[in-house]
Structure 1
Amino acid sequence: MLSAPAVIILLAVTAYPIVQAIYFSLFNYRMTDPDNRSFNWGHNYIVILSDPQWWQTLGVTVLITVITVAVELVLGFALALVMINAIRSVRPWVRTVILIPYGIITVVSAFAWKYAFDLPTGFVGTWTGNSDFDWFGHFGSSIVVICLAEIWKTTPFISLLLLSGLAQIPGDMLEAATVDGASWWQRMTKVILPNMKAAILVALLFRTLDAFRVFDSVFVMTSGAQDTATVSFLAYDQSISQLQVGMGSALSVMLFLCVAIICFIFIKGFKVDLGQVRGD
């Protein structure tokens, strides 16, 4: 009974749009010709799975997700160690500085990185001594800039989640390992990481789901040019640019299914009790 209001709100703002998207995905439906909407028995999904563009955008999405999440996990863990080991008097300032990028709106961050690397306004080319290189004129360099923007923006989020995991490691356990002569690497691999398994799962899961839905940076920097379109951008292009509501809804459902599969793999693969994150 106590959770009923929250459940109702969640159903209203999430479940209904999902069901509506599934419903529209079963129709041949264009906003420019709404009167000719027709039920096509899932033909949109057949078209998607047989289209090379879907597999291209899926590959780009997976590439960006793997690169950004892997780098963010390493950097986030390093920043978490810095924050928890900082001198007590400066610890609040260190945490504030580290978390500043996460407080910036993603679109604003994407525009800042675009201006930094773009030919007319960019200063990165001057720093690297190659001011004529078009970073957004090639697939590889475009992906590099997109990944850098995502890593800079969301690494603080990973570090914040991992910091909560570090804070829950019993201090007497670390002291006992130190007294027993364990090296820094042994304390890390035998004490710290095993006790942070639940926190690492939450950080990886949340960030992977967010990275897989990447849209803002691609939209601002390349608009899908140089084969950099992601699944979210493709769904946007079909729904908003081309007004193909049926096809765009089918792409959104496919994205939802991919996210659900990722959740299943992560939770089953880690085999941890998520109650550990709450300290249960």
Structure 2
Amino acid sequence: MSMQAANATELTRARVRSAWMFLLPMIVVLALVAGWPLVRTIYFAFTDANLSDIGSYSFIGFANFLEYYEGEWFGLLVDTDWWRAVWNTLWFTVISVSIETVLGLVVALTLNAHFPGRGVLRAAILIPWAIPTIVSAKMWGWMLHDQFGILNDILLSLGLIAKPVAWTASPDTAMWAVIMVDVWKTTPFMALLILAALQILPSDCYEAAKVDGIHPVRVFFRVTLPLIRPALMVAIIFRALDALRIFDLIYVLTSNSRDTMSMSVYARQQLVDFQEVGYGSAAATALFLIIAVLIALTLTFGKVRLGEDVR
């Protein structure tokens, strides 16, 4: 091995050691703050722990997930309320993330253009995202109220509805009301990530397309969209992760309603309301596994590299 190659190898090792020195404190903190509670939750999923006496429990294996007893099946995997919560969560995730992606793309393309007041508009568009979820949920809860909500008042004034609608209480509108509020709040997040990708795109391609007289719509689908695809997929994955574990928005707007109950709300109900720590931990563990599998499939079949640069 030449002296130059040996020096390069030693430099690489030094950089790796430095990287681990900087990362080690963060890894330790994550292990304590996130890793230990996760391991503890998974462990409790295989016990009969109860919140009234958390120190006294027995190991019961997979009984919280599935158990055959006296001719009947019991457990999380045969609980219709659980599978309804799974369906609600997946439905909410697909619809809300799809709408937010399209609207976020439109907003990002608009903010990427040059026009007076662009900086002020960029700052204003982030206000819904900056408001804490609990605050925005309570605010929209009042606006959507069937008796004194401003939304019903506006629609009644315009003659679009004949009587007040209980947006968050009716099974027909509750989930759509939650989706509407989530889209209002989270679209700026998608727009911000997409705008960041648009800002670093090379201008040469667009100048050449303009000289050639190519239609802007064709330029978008043939040039812009392929170039921002890695950043767009990362934004979708981040947003989907957040949507799959949604709790606060649904709980504040609709509480424990079966029509909108998410997997997180279901786990909380079992853990706190019913005080079944073991069963609630089983639901939380199943939620973790579902999210992990869905994200792994997205990364695999979407061929997404989270570290990929936009070129």
Q: What's the counterpart of residue 50 of structure 2?
A: 30
CA RMSD after TM alignment: 1.5
Q: Match for 2:231 among 199, 220, 234?
A: 199
Unaligned runs of 5+ in 2: 1-20, 67-74
The structure with more helix, counted as a fraction of residues = 1
Deviation at 1:33, TM superposition (A): 3.6
Q: What's the counterpart of residue 111 of structure 1?
A: 138
Q: Match for 1:124 among 135, 143, 151?
A: 151
- Please state if 1:3 is matched with 2:30: no
Matches within 5 A, 1:1-280: 1-34=21-54, 36-46=56-66, 47-87=75-115, 89-129=116-156, 130=161, 131-277=163-309
Runs of 4+ in 1 over 4 A off after TM superposition: none
Q: Which amino acid aligns with 2:80?
A: P
Deviation at 1:202, TM superposition (A): 0.8
**Max Rg structure:** 2
Q: Which amino acid aligns with 2:59?
A: F
Distance 1:161 1:152 in 2: 16
In structure 2, the residue corresponding to 1:265 is in which secondary structure? Answer: helix
- Aligned residue-pair number: 278
Distance 1:134 1:273 in 2: 44
Q: Which amino acid aligns with 2:127?
A: I
Deviation at 1:17, TM superposition (A): 1.0
Deviates most, 53-62 or 78-87: 78-87
Percent pairwise identity: 34
Deviation at 1:36, TM superposition (A): 4.5
Tell me if the contact between 1:138 and 1:226 (Cα under 8 Å) persists in the aligned partners: no
Distance 1:3 1:180 in 2: 49
Return the TM-score normalized by structure 2. 0.85
Q: Which amino acid aligns with 1:38?
A: S
Unaligned runs of 5+ in 1: none
Distance 1:68 1:222 in 2: 17
Deviations 1:81-103 (A, max 9, x none): 1111132x522211101111000
Deviation at 1:56, TM superposition (A): 0.5
